[in-house]
Structure 1
Amino acid sequence: MKIAITGMGIISAIGKTVEENYEALLQKKSGISEIENFDTLHKEVIKVGEIKMTNQQLESLLGLPASNSFSRTALLGAYAAKKAVEDAQISDINEYRTGLISATSVGGMDMTERYYYEYFENPAVQKYIRAHDAGDSSHKIADYIGLKGFVSTVSTACSSAANAIMLGARMIASGQLDRVVVGGTDAMSKFTINGFKTLMILSDTFNTPFDDNRKGLNLGEAAAFIVLESDKVVAQQGKKVLAYLKGFGNANDAYHQTASSENGDGAFLAMQKAFAMAQITPESVDYINAHGTATPNNDLSEGRAILRAFEGNSVPDFSSTKAFTGHTLAAAAAIEAVYSVLAMQYGKVFPNLNFKTPMKEFDLIPQTEVKDKEINCVLSNSFGFGGNCSTLIFSKN
């Protein structure tokens, strides 16, 4: 099974266009900084991948009226989805059977935590009550791009966008849709900061994926969408294909609510399933965009899973790009799907920033500089709480 990717849109801490994100990756320009957009007790304690635009600036960018009820999650998602549709040169979104599948974990929490105590007393902010629901952001994104077809929301923690991409591909492969706008969006909120702080996996400095001295992750906010289209649409419209989604896999190691199994069982199974669907051997992979959250548990578990999947001695170049954007939760796999396509388009392995000391448990060294390389196949991992592990395989042809 191969599904064409014909458009991409993204907004993250390192840029609000695909081009800006690519340049930041090349220049090793991280978007990790201190929190500026809202107040929190942890403001000067942790670092995050924050988009330096206010909600008002995003509303203006989208041309929304002051009466809108968009949460920040919906604002980011609407912008990225619109850019993806434009990049795919779609003039009539409803010309073919088209769907939108959007991933989110935060939903409208940013507005809920801001106005919760005002809801009974201030009618002006009651419009945000409905915006709390995760599905509300998806429908707002669909309405914004004019989509009248199928709309769905996926929320499987940090693998959400990967599973949204998978669902979209399945719906095209089964003949239910001709094209799907798929991806994810999550905004920064006190809720997620407090939650991850409670788990004691936030770093007070820049995150260091796969480093022996890693201290934890930097939360990020972002949105990214890609357009998947069937062979029929590509042929009929003579579409330019950016890349193909060649295979994918999903598994659950059922180990712990917030930790991966010691040997990366779920991650290993997800990669195995993706290889089988793509009908390739591990040797065909030129680059791995690792999940690489810089938490003690994830990097050890993922590293062991990669060694198992690639049989120890044949691990290709790999890196985590989360030191650029932070961990963008439900949006992460969509962000990294865009980066995976860029890696193939321009023949670049993107650097794993901040790495200094190899992990003592195994001999895996991520790529720390931009590397020129012919890349025809990229494997991208995304693993979520609850043990939900997903792997996507992208190819040039």
Structure 2
Amino acid sequence: MKIFVTGIGVVSAIGQDAEQNLRSLQSLTTGLSRSANFNLMLGEVRLSNEQLIEKLDLPNEDYSRTTLLAILAAKEAWSNNKINKSVRTGLISATSVGGLDRTEKYYFESQTSKTARTYSLMTHDNGRTTERVAAELGISGYIGTISTACSSGANAIMQGARLLEGNKLDRVVVGASEPLATFDVKGFSSLNIFDNEICKPFDDKRSGLNLGEGAAYLVLENEHSISVTGNKPLCMLSGWNNATDAFHQTASSPDGKGAYLAMINALAKAGITAGNINYVNAHGTGTSNNDLSESMALRNVFGDAMPSFSSTKGFTGHTLAAAGAIEAVYCVQSILSQAPLPNLNFSTPMKETNMTPETSFRSAKIDYVLSNSFGFGGNCTCLIFGKAW
């Protein structure tokens, strides 16, 4: 079965829609800066919650930031789509922390005040964002929520594809949203893997990651849906796979076993070989462990015929659950632009693998793009996007 991508929407530190994000990628403009709230280099969306509510013309309610970012990106992806009884439509949304940003605000208040807005604690539920996005888009069919750490967004896309392939749905909105919650910042701080400057993925002198926030959604459709909606395919979702190496709670296996398995099985699912891949959007967090592990896996898959590859986290920061969805949108844009995407701040190849990522936005033949997303516990997912011939 052919699965088409017919809509994309994204908000991140480098833009409030897909066009702004692409312009930043083309001009090598990072969205990372030192945060006044945390005194760390972070990728913050330049819109307050109040501004998001106004921009989206929403009722003045107590939304989590996760929900607001999700609605902004999902509405862009959904665009002019409408509900049609002959097109079975669903939504799968992913997040790690859900509405924890609101829980952090109101928890202590609820312990001491009889007038505390304890109802706000209910926005912590990860499914709350999914339900709110579904209501905004008018989707009342299949609705699901996924939370698998940093592979969440990619797994939402994979699950949507499986539902189409299994003839459970004809059209599905898939993606993820993640805010910059204090929980995330302090949690990653405890791992001692922050870079005090802008991260340097795949550089021999890399020293850690930067966190970011954002959301991205894609519309996936089968051929029946396209015949009804009239939507023009942007590209195809050709292959996908998830593999878990279960090496460590927070670290990737040194040999990249899970990543390797996810990639080779995604290639098999797509019915292509490693030689068909023109660009790899790597997970590439900038940490010592991840970049070495992923590099080893890439070497094992591609050998000496390594295609163009890069990590775009120097632009957005690591957006955790949203990373796989945001980078999936970037992969679609890579195909549409016929250009691999750049890796910022690279200067010295890693001595172990001597691999040099793409550092400029240049024209090239891009038929297939491979995207990696890796979560805690070794939850590794690979997606493959191809031209809609």
TM over 0.5: yes
CA distance in 1, matches of 2:277, 2:9: 25
Contact 2:83 2:89 in 1 (8 A): no
For residues 354-377 of structure 1, the C-alpha deviation after alignment (integer angstroms, 9 at most, x for no partner) is 001110101210011112101010
Match of 1:85 among 64, 78, 88: 78
Task: Show the counterpart of 2:304.
Answer: 313
Task: Show the counterpart of 1:17.
Answer: 17
Task: Show the counterpart of 1:54.
Answer: 48
Equivalent position SS for 2:204? coil
CA distance in 2, matches of 1:141, 1:233: 21
Q: CA deviation at 1:235?
A: 2.3
For residues 126-185 of structure 1, the C-alpha deviation after alignment (integer angstroms, 9 at most, x for no partner) is 231110011111111111222111111100000001110011011111111111000000
CA distance in 1, matches of 2:143, 2:322: 17
Are 1:35 and 2:35 counterparts? Answer: yes
Please give the residue correspondences for 1:327-346 in structure 2 after superposition, counting only pairs within 5 Å.
327-346=318-337
Please give the residue correspondences for 1:238-387 in structure 2 after superposition, counting only pairs within 5 Å.
238-310=230-302, 312-387=303-378
Equivalent position SS for 1:309? helix
CA distance in 1, matches of 2:278, 2:173: 26
CA distance in 2, matches of 1:195, 1:249: 28
Q: TM-score, normalised by structure 1?
A: 0.95
Contact 2:81 2:229 in 1 (8 A): no
Equivalent position SS for 1:129? helix
Equivalent position SS for 1:8? strand
Contact 1:93 1:147 in 2 (8 A): no
Are 1:389 and 2:380 counterparts? Answer: yes
Q: TM-score, normalised by structure 2?
A: 0.97
CA shift in 2, pair 1:151/1:263, >3 Å: same
Equivalent position SS for 1:239? coil
CA distance in 2, matches of 1:138, 1:202: 30
CA distance in 2, matches of 1:151, 1:157: 19
AA of the residue aligned to 2:109: E
Equivalent position SS for 2:328? helix
Task: Show the counterpart of 1:210.
Answer: 202
Contact 2:83 2:139 in 1 (8 A): no
Please give the residue correspondences for 1:176-187 in structure 2 after superposition, counting only pairs within 5 Å.
176-187=168-179
CA distance in 1, matches of 2:322, 2:13: 12
Q: CA deviation at 1:236?
A: 3.1
CA distance in 2, matches of 1:60, 1:193: 27
Which segments of 5 or more consecutive residues in structure 1 lack a partner in the other structure? Answer: none
Contact 1:201 1:215 in 2 (8 A): yes
Q: CA deviation at 1:254?
A: 1.1
Q: CA deviation at 1:2?
A: 2.8
CA distance in 1, matches of 2:212, 2:15: 13
- Give identity over the alignment, percent: 50
Please give the residue correspondences for 1:80-119 in structure 2 after superposition, counting only pairs within 5 Å.
80-86=73-79, 89-92=80-83, 96-119=87-110
CA RMSD of aligned residues (A): 1.2
Q: CA deviation at 1:93?
A: 6.4
For residues 169-205 of structure 1, the C-alpha deviation after alignment (integer angstroms, 9 at most, x for no partner) is 1111111111100000000011100000001111111
AA of the residue aligned to 1:76: L
Q: CA deviation at 1:125?
A: 2.4
Please give the residue correspondences for 1:86-235 in structure 2 after superposition, counting only pairs within 5 Å.
86=79, 89-92=80-83, 96-120=87-111, 121=113, 123=115, 125-235=117-227
Contact 1:69 1:127 in 2 (8 A): no
CA shift in 2, pair 1:244/1:196, >3 Å: same
Contact 2:35 2:41 in 1 (8 A): yes
For residues 310-332 of structure 1, the C-alpha deviation after alignment (integer angstroms, 9 at most, x for no partner) is 1x211100010000000000000
Q: CA deviation at 1:91?
A: 2.8
Task: Show the counterpart of 2:62.
Answer: 69
Task: Show the counterpart of 1:7.
Answer: 7
Q: CA deviation at 1:92?
A: 2.8
